[in-house]
Amino acid sequence: MILPAPALAVRADAVSKMYRLFRSKRDRLREALHPFRRIYHREFWALRNITFEVPAGRTVGILGMNGSGKSTLLQIISGVLYATSGSVHVNGQVAALLELGAGFNPELTGRENVVLNGTILGLTREAIRDRMGDIETFADVGEFFDQPVKTYSSGMFMRVAFSTALYVDPDVLIIDEALSVGDAKFQEKCFRRFRDLQERGKSILLVTHDRSALPRYCDMGLLLHQGELVAHGDPAEIADLYGELLSTGRIGRTMPSTRITPPSATPIADESPLRLLTEEGSTTDQCPRNPTYNKYEHRFGNRHAEIIDYVLRGDQRINPTSIDSGSRLDIYFKILFHWDIEHPIVGVILKSKEGVIVYGINTGWMKRQLRPVKQGDVRVYRFSIRVDLSAGDWFIDLAVAETPTEICDHRSALITVYIMDRAQSVGLASLQTQFDEIHDDVSSSRASPPAQGGRDEAPPE
């Protein structure tokens, strides 16, 4: 169905999709043949009342946990599935990268499959012929392009399938986790083509599990959970909410991640995080309530003191599950002391998901001597760190010790935070880098070839 308003590329109105689930094939047959229409199935709603609009020329990122309904939604938009209720309207030609290679005939060559799939996607023979060279070059499978697809490796197969769909030149491009095919060089070409389509004003719907992709590539974000659209709007905020879902399995925080007043030069700027810690009078472990808490943490120590709560502050938010690389992250944590300790030591460690420690520090190494504590005392401490780390999931340890060798409580991988970096780079760190292109004409400074006889002569004026 075509939209009457060209300003919108896609509009979904109360879209729902229901599947009938049977315990066995026998129950399916029983229901089909039962004379009194007895029900043997249960209903499963993959989508419930999904409503949103995509303006023309916008890129929309869709996030959600496995089973949230992302792929089902894209299949309905692309026409592969029909909605149980509601409607979807699309303006223009649609190309979908849902399942790479769907519809490819293994007995046909890559070139023949390009013709077949291009025809299915609505291209004329002439249009396919005009784009065949670009598709062949982009796929870069060499002489195998004219060999049966059944002789391809999985990587070659994905290259040809991806290239075919990408060069349809659609008005609306739908991508379901398909931008990471092939090796690094091919991925770079894929993203280059992706950006080219954006610059040409194409509308793109992108499903991904990569939180950093939303603020980097998308104009708006959608968050699906258990078949429902739970949030939409700013890509960075949607990525943050998705991080909360991954950490806690739910939306709705006991300590909301709301924007707070920018820090000033006075100590009052720190009152908001402190109030969250000091107003909670409980002396039991409150860490699991935090949206950044990692339930798979590892904890050890003699428990002469315990870390019982913490609050993060970064990007002017309280307890963000994702922050921008280069931001300053304030880590406040509360400790309950069960023993008298003359000079406690507290520390923090940042490490990758592989367990590689990129930074660790404690007050002993910093030559900071903390005040003595008595049994029953509760103290709050803070580390402030600029996180110049590359995009990805990072983990934070918190620890307290009574001496350099006597650990009271070490909570390893207690906190998980996703670092978003709008600039692409590789490695663990995101270093501040400057680049300049020198425009001075340096051609006159090039050395001239030596004169005959082997002696260097001055260049002519």
| pLDDT higher than 90, residue 433 | no
Q: What percent of the chain has pLDDT over 70?
A: 83
Q: Which two tokens stand for residue 79?
A: 């026409």
Q: CA–CA separation, 290 vs 248, rounded Å? A: 8
Average pLDDT across the chain, whole number: 82
**Whether 47 and 193 share a structural domain:** yes
129-133, 257-261, 442-446, range with the lowest pLDDT: 257-261
Domain range holding 198? 8-246
pLDDT (mean) for 122-138: 87
Q: Report the DSSP beta bridge partners of residue 225.
A: 228
DSSP 28-41: HHHHHH-TT----E
274-301 residue pLDDT tens: 677 776 667 889 999 888 999 889 999 9
Under DSSP, the state recorded for 342 is S
Coil vs helix vs strand at 276: helix
For 387, other C-beta atoms within 10 Å of its C-beta total 21
**Residue 19 included in any domain:** yes
| pLDDT higher than 80, residue 441 | no
**Residue 461 included in any domain:** no
**Whether 67 and 197 share a structural domain:** yes
Q: Please give the residue that has the higher pLDDT: either 347 or 125.
A: 347
Q: How confident is the model at residue 273 (pLDDT cuts 50, 70, 90)?
A: low
**Residue 447 included in any domain:** no
pLDDT (mean) for 396-400: 97
Q: CA–CA separation, 1 vs 28, rounded Å? A: 33
28-32, 219-223, 396-400, range with the lowest pLDDT: 28-32
pLDDT of residue 323: 87
Rg (CA), the chain: 29
pLDDT of residue 158: 77
pLDDT (mean) for 206-228: 86
pLDDT (mean) for 342-368: 93
**Whether 88 and 162 share a structural domain:** yes
pLDDT of residue 451: 47
Q: Please give the residue that has the higher pLDDT: either 354 or 306.
A: 306
Q: Please give the residue that has the higher pLDDT: either 236 or 456.
A: 236
**Whether 353 and 407 share a structural domain:** yes
**Residue 285 included in any domain:** yes
pLDDT of residue 83: 92
**Whether 297 and 221 share a structural domain:** no
Coil vs helix vs strand at 198: helix
**Whether 285 and 229 share a structural domain:** no
**Whether 279 and 229 share a structural domain:** no
Long-range contacts of 167-170 (CB under 8 A, 24+ apart): 167/131, 167/134, 167/135, 167/138, 168/93, 168/95, 168/118, 168/121, 168/122, 168/123, 169/131, 170/92, 170/93, 170/94, 170/95, 170/202
pLDDT (mean) for 186-215: 82
pLDDT of residue 5: 46
pTM passes above 0.75? no
Q: Please give the residue that has the higher pLDDT: either 432 or 234.
A: 234
| pLDDT higher than 60, residue 3 | no
**Residue 125 included in any domain:** yes
Biggest distance spanned by C-alpha atoms of the chain? 109
Q: CA–CA separation, 204 vs 206, rounded Å? A: 6
The CATH number linked to 350 is: 2.70.50.60
**Whether 237 and 304 share a structural domain:** no
**Whether 222 and 278 share a structural domain:** no
65-76 residue pLDDT tens: 888 888 899 889
**Whether 229 and 278 share a structural domain:** no
Q: What percent of the chain has pLDDT over 90?
A: 34
pLDDT (mean) for 242-267: 51
Residue where a domain terminates, one of 420, 435, 453: 420
Query: Which residues are within 8 A (CB) of 406 and not within 5 positions of it... i.e. 6 or more apart?
Result: 302, 304
Contact 318, 271 (CB under 8 A): no
pLDDT (mean) for 381-410: 93
Residue where a domain terminates, one of 246, 277, 298: 246
Q: Please give the residue that has the higher pLDDT: either 220 or 315.
A: 220
The CATH number linked to 92 is: 3.40.50.300
**Whether 231 and 305 share a structural domain:** no
pLDDT of residue 99: 62
Q: How confident is the model at residue 453 (pLDDT cuts 50, 70, 90)?
A: very low
Q: How confident is the model at residue 256 (pLDDT cuts 50, 70, 90)?
A: very low
Q: How confident is the model at residue 181 (pLDDT cuts 50, 70, 90)?
A: low
Give me the number of domains the chain comprises: 2
| pLDDT higher than 90, residue 21 | no
**Whether 241 and 328 share a structural domain:** no
The single-letter code of the amino acid at 41 is H
pLDDT (mean) for 398-406: 95
How many residues are there in the chain?
Answer: 461
28-32, 255-259, 426-430, range with the lowest pLDDT: 255-259
| pLDDT higher than 70, residue 248 | no
**Residue 200 included in any domain:** yes
**Residue 229 included in any domain:** yes
Coil vs helix vs strand at 394: strand
**Residue 318 included in any domain:** yes
22-44 residue pLDDT tens: 888 888 888 788 878 888 778 88
| pLDDT higher than 60, residue 437 | yes
Q: CA–CA separation, 351 vs 297, rounded Å? A: 13
